[in-house]
Amino acid sequence: MTKLAIIGGSGLTRMESLEITRREVVSTPYGEPSSPLIHGMFNGIEIIFLPRHGAGHTIPPHKINYRANIWAIKHIEADYVVGMATVGGIRDDMTPGSIAIPDQIIDYTWGRGHTFFENDLAQVTHIDFTEPYCNKLRKNLITAAEAAGLIIIKNGTYGATQGPRLETAMEINRMQNDGCDVVGMTGMPEATLARELGLCYAHCSVVANRAAGRGEGPITMDDIKSNMQNGMSKIYALLIELGGILG
Ligand code: HPA
């Protein structure tokens, strides 16, 4: 049976409607994942759910043990991995509540454990990252969203920032000049690590706010939370269709 791993971000720390079958504590050479892996069934496919910020939403973006999370997901032999996360919208059409499936990444993070290929190497290894996401899964996510009747933005460049603070308006200007369409804090090194272990990984970005300097006034957590909830109800509709496509 197809195994779909879902790494949930803010707004998705637990999956309602998941029929949980077991919780699995996975020990990894890199330490503890953000939480035990939650196994369950959702619309006929096997889901392995991992809340990226921990079950109680306590781990900030720069403290997440990305290597342990991805190693654990490889260990349970997931066929597909969807990274779900809220983002700020930079491009004009990236308005709160919209969903995007990015196809490119620019990485502005630093100091995170970002590779499996650094110790005890038989030889130096450079993965190809020209296309950072798994296109097969990206296409399936887009098809699922369309089947669910959702408006979906089919591409875009994800800019990964260090956090936990939000960006300045000028940082967002610079990111836009660089070509970024959305900004988030957790998309890297998750995508790299998945590629290093040969996992089929794609990102589902839920726009929670206009990025700094793009909306009216400061960005408030209340705004982020209410838009996030709106976006997450769409994510459930998308996942129901995705189960049918992958299953
Ligand atoms: N910036 C970075 N990460 C985010 C944002 C943002 O504006 N919104 C949600 N996650």
pLDDT per position as a tens digit, 183-213: 999 999 999 999 999 999 999 999 999 999 9
In this prediction the pTM is 0.96
183 in contact with ligand 1, CB cutoff 6 A: yes
Q: What is the residue-wise DSSP string for 2-55?
A: -EEEEEE-TT-SS-TT-EEEEEE---BTTB--SS-EEEEEETTEEEEEEETTTT
The helix/strand/coil state of 236 is helix
- Asked if 83 and 64 touch (Cβ cutoff 8 Å), the reply is no
Mutation test residue for ligand 1: of 108, 172, 173, 185, the one with most atoms within 8 Å of CB: 185
- Whole-number pLDDT of residue 94: 94
Query: Is residue 226's pLDDT more than 90?
Result: no
pLDDT per position as a tens digit, 142-170: 999 999 999 999 999 999 999 999 999 99
Mean pLDDT, residues 100-108: 98
How far, in Å, CA of 206 to CA of 233, rounded?
A: 11
Structure-token pair, residue 162: 């260090």
- Whole-number pLDDT of residue 230: 80
Percent of the residues in the chain that have a pLDDT greater than 70, as a whole number: 100
- 88 CA from centroid of ligand 1 (Å): 4
How far, in Å, CA of 179 to CA of 16, rounded?
A: 36
User: Mean pLDDT across the chain, nearest whole number?
Assistant: 94
Q: Does the domain made of 3-117+126-246 have the CATH classification 3.40.50.1580? A: yes
Categorise residue 97: left if φ over 0, alpha if ψ from -120 to 50, beta otherwise.
Answer: left
Structure-token pair, residue 191: 């995508």
Mean pLDDT, residues 99-127: 96
208 in contact with ligand 1, CB cutoff 6 A: yes
Mutation test residue for ligand 1: of 166, 174, 222, 227, the one with most atoms within 8 Å of CB: 166
- Whole-number pLDDT of residue 1: 86
pLDDT per position as a tens digit, 72-92: 999 999 999 999 999 999 999
- Whole-number pLDDT of residue 232: 80
- Whole-number pLDDT of residue 17: 78
Percent of the residues in the chain that have a pLDDT greater than 90, as a whole number: 82
How far, in Å, CA of 101 to CA of 205, rounded?
A: 6
- Whole-number pLDDT of residue 245: 92
88 in contact with ligand 1, CB cutoff 6 A: yes
- Whole-number pLDDT of residue 212: 98
User: Domain locations in the chain?
Assistant: 3-117+126-246
Residue with the two structure tokens 């408030």: 220
Place 174 in a pLDDT band, splitting at 50, 70 and 90.
very high
Place 16 in a pLDDT band, splitting at 50, 70 and 90.
confident
Rounded alpha-carbon distances, angstroms, from residue 181 to 103, 108, 166, 172? 11, 14, 16, 10
**Antiparallel, parallel or unpaired: β 104-107 and 157-160:** parallel
